[in-house]
Amino acid sequence: MDNPFKHINQPLKEVPQELKAKVMSDIATAKLLMDLASLFSVDMAKIVEQTIKKRNDNPNENKK
């Protein structure tokens, strides 16, 4: 069995251009999907934070 730790100090090998292009394309697709998901989802943490901040900014309205 080959010990992978023996290759740590070796110079890096160049990655084939086709593989680089595929990886970059996959990353761009994943980022696009994440951006689209954030457009159509609700950020509950942000909503709770804004609600608490509004309550703290208007203490007189909470006593009604």
pLDDT tens, N- to C-terminus, the chain (64 residues): 889 888 888 888 899 999 999 999 999 999 999 999 988 888 888 889 999 998 888 766 655 5
Mapped onto helix, strand or coil, the DSSP state of residue 13 is: coil
The pLDDT of residue 20 is 96
pTM, two decimals, is: 0.53
**What pLDDT score was predicted for residue 61?**
61
> Cα–chain-centroid distance for residue 57?
31
pLDDT value, residue 7: 84
Amino acid at 61: E
44-62: burial string, b at 16+ Cβ within 10 Å, e else: eeeeeeeeeeeeeeeeeee
Distance CA 29, CA 36 (A): 11
